[in-house]
Structure 1
Amino acid sequence: GAMMGIFFNQGQVCCAGSRLFLDESIKDEFLERFSEKAKKVVVGDPMDKGTHMGPQVSMEQLDRIKGYVDVARAEGATVLTGGVCPTLEGDFQKGFFFQPTIFSEVKNGMRVAQEEIFGPVTSVITFKNEDELIKEANDTIFGLSAGIWTRDLVRAHRFAKEIHAGTVWINTFNMFNAASPFGGFKQSGYGREMGKHALELYTQIKSVWVDLSGKPIGWYGK
């Protein structure tokens, strides 16, 4: 699920799960398994069925990602895997490819956690309790989407209620349906795509007032 959240479409997704909040009690085991899976992601020819991740959309975007990786390192984050362009052969040597990247030891106030990178870079932030998790999850100017992974659905619904995001996925990620509204809170925009709420984007409201009394208005008519 965490893989799908950040590496889908090379991380070039407006609702990418770029911040990964992880319970401290499972940190070491999870990061080991997460990193090993990320290292197995095949980066290369997007037309090859064996490829998992293709290129970034442009050199400008690739340079942007590299810049954020440098910033994260400077701020004290640790690269568990990735952080560089892959070595490819043939025509793909000059492509805009970047390896799946995982940062640990990230603080929620770091730029890599607070700004939109729009690439395959995830920032792992640990938490000790639910209150700390909710506070830090909501401590962002964005609020498009969130994902919750748990076997406790009562807990999941409690989190979904508290998290300031337009879409909350539980035990899944990047799922869409034309009948389900999609949109964000805060600086992630206003209005909704899809669902009946999307119709409001194509309408304008007009107020028309008509006085049927035939009487003068207030003291001006005296």
Structure 2
Amino acid sequence: MNITTKPNPVLLVHGINDTATVFCKMSPQLARKGWLVHDIDLTPNNCSRPLDYLAKQIANYVEKTFPPEQPIDIVGFSMGGIVSRYYIQRLGGIDRVGRFITISSPHHGTVLAYLLDRPGSIQMRPDSPFLADLNRDFAMLDRINFTSIWTPFDLMIVPPTSSQLLVGRDVQVPVALHAWMITDPKAIAAVVEALSEDIRQHHPLGQTPPPQKLPSIDSNI
């Protein structure tokens, strides 16, 4: 670990239809390397509520768990990366997070989201208003250490390049399956490396853009 001071606590955020137990391999490995690891069970986890609703759960967890002066790092897997982005970009997380890592997250949507007509999955469709809103100012992620880890073989994030953003570090790992991205040694090593990076720059507090009003989503679609 290249961190010269005590590392930030790490919050792990799972994907659709998962719980925090999905990090059963990553979490203990990070703990053995010196990180204090936290996780959260997003409810509901099946996209039956909008992703911004889930992001408020992250905001509440952070507020209740960590003192205001404590910076944290976040690792978001798949849908969890997008939920975490909303927390960071729209709910003040940009002022709390030092390192943000997404693993196989559909930053530009995935065509598989058309298989479910639920509010959260609608938001993860390509060119959705929700993603368009986040992506119009994705450059704000350059104020923190942002890393996207993804695999070109992903059959859940279609196309796989949807996991890329034109900001931060882009790390491609040759992992065969989407679900293996949080268990494969190469992917976990990439997470360790990203969490070990020195914070590149300090950003001022209190400059988070105000929340944007999104089009309403009919949950009965």
Q: Highest relative contact order (Cα 8 Å, sep 6+), 1 or 2?
A: 2
Over alpha carbons, which structure has the higher Rg?
1
When normalised by structure 1's length, the TM-score is 0.33
Tell me the TM-score normalised to structure 2 length.
Answer: 0.33
